[in-house]
Structure 1
Amino acid sequence: MEVVSILACLFLSSLLSYPLLKKMWRPVPKQRAKLPPGSMGWPLVGETLQLYTQDPNVFFVTRQKRYGEVFKSHILGCPCVMLASPEGARFVLVTHAQLFKPTYPKSKEKMIGPSALFFHQGNYHNLTRKLVQTSLSPDTIRKLIPSIESVAISALESWSGGHVISTLHEMKKFSFDAGILSIFGQLNSNFRQMLSDSYRVVDKGYNSFPTKIPGTAYHRALLARKRLNQILSEIICEKKESKLPEKDFLANLLSFKNEKGEILTEDQITDNIIGVLFAAQDTTASVLTWILKYLHDDQKLLEAVKAEQMAIYEANGRGEKPLTWAQTRNMPLTYRVILESLRMASIISFTFREAIVDVEYQGCLIPKGWKVLPLFRNIHHNPEFFPDPHIFDPSRFETAPKPNTFMPFGNGVHACAGNEIAKLEMLILIHHLVTKFRWEVVGSQNGIQYGPFPVPHQGLPARFWKESINLA
């Protein structure tokens, strides 16, 4: 009996203590990561007004200094996490890209076209990106050099004479015409003019307030976008009928078939053509405008670039022969000027991604649905990677920058596929500019404006003259 009583007491004791022991032995749950530090700004508008009215260096750098390399904000109606380090940019764009999707406001998707490749992930994106890369590969674009030269010379001739022009406005026309070459090859002048007229209206409305009220910039842009569809439909029909063995972007889009034998729809073709035009025009034009300002502000550097280009000019019989691909690959100083302009201006200050699940990065929570912005500008202006970052110094690119510290064309699977032709257009224009023309900036030479890319004040008004030595 005594033994039974003892066992009973032990059993009862075990039953009574089990909940306590269970509680004591339960694994301690992992503490949920917290949102990064930062300010969400005013209700509804957040910090959007500060972003688009301040120097972007001031907006981003002051917050980085206050909160660190990972901080939150609220811009363009969206809660955001900003990442201001090379590691952060690589995390989002390369190593963990599957956790983030490219994202744009619906109004902008509608303007360009929902089938444009940079709105997509997965198989469709991979297929269309390969088409772009093939169409803009070095083997393809090298054949465009004489045509791009012709466009560049024609543009420069139209600027000369001493009248004041908006450099940015004229660079937009040049980069548009060069973009047309890479997409269509030689295009009928009537089609080219119609595309230019409608595209200019779309471009003006792209960054305006998205309202369908008749008469507004956005409403006019929507109508112009429909006209672009009609014009492109005619061009596509004509291209199909010609059956010429061309290898431009449109020809590659028309000949594409996936593994199931499916071809691209006309809407997919149209959206991707307009997407390439959008990607090519504003960014290239903005960088070229900055290059002209940086060279104008440093006459010693300008003379050095001119000497490099004059050697090529003389080798080509004072411009009698066209530039060769090899010559465009052998302009080291000019190329470094382009790279330093891309770093200094940082036309693409950041890119938008959206977390598709809750993500933890460096102990901070990035909630599902929040926008994530790798800050290229902060990285490009970090003195740890680029000493004296506010000084224009092309010599810094005599050695390659550290990995993931220089990303003017983005990084990962959504990096700009047209970066080679953009640089080729810049090299060709600079060659003809410095060997045959001179220019002078008019009015205030300081200040930045945003539309939305940072550009010199008022688009850099300037006068151009043809060098008298070439008038004979």
Structure 2
Amino acid sequence: MELTLLLLSLAPLILLLVIRIFSLKDASRSAKNLPPGSLGWPIFGETLEFLFGKPEKFVFDRMKKYSSDIFKTRILGEKTVVICGPDGNKYLFSNEQKLFTAFRPHSMRKLFRSHQAAAPIEVSREAASKILRSPGFLKPEALVRYLGKMDSITQQQMQTYWEGKDEVKAFPFAKTLTLSLACRFFLGSDDPERIARLVSNF
């Protein structure tokens, strides 16, 4: 009876020791060419901190602690490298499909099995960069078509908020104008009550 209790009390300690030994072996084997950072717990990694905290704070804390350019972590059971800053993004996007490939983590593939059944759609590098870099509605030729309506909305807002006033608060005006333009062009709505409700939420 006493031997059983002793073994049961030592079992968690032995389990933690075994996990620690395997994680140290894994760390020493793969730490040669990896960026600074921590992989966290052996199975969970730093998933809980990432999901239940604020993701921005998670990233900024590790940028301060390890490196402002790149760090490693483990999220959703996958070893992950986070590239930060403009230089890192430039490197990532200039080497896409050469050094990097897009994929879903193993845990996501288990959840979304239909993704595995469907054949992947191959998009050429030129087509993908064209979609990402220059959406059609932001091209200068497309913006010229919107210029007249943008001008009339701006004049209407200026008459409403500026005329006959000694003092004008720029930030609320800019916010209202921006949301009015967004509602008109993205939602197709000119309703002032709806826009006023949106402005109060921002």
Q: TM-score, structure 1 length as denominator?
A: 0.24
Give the number of the structure whose residues are more often strand, by fraction: 1
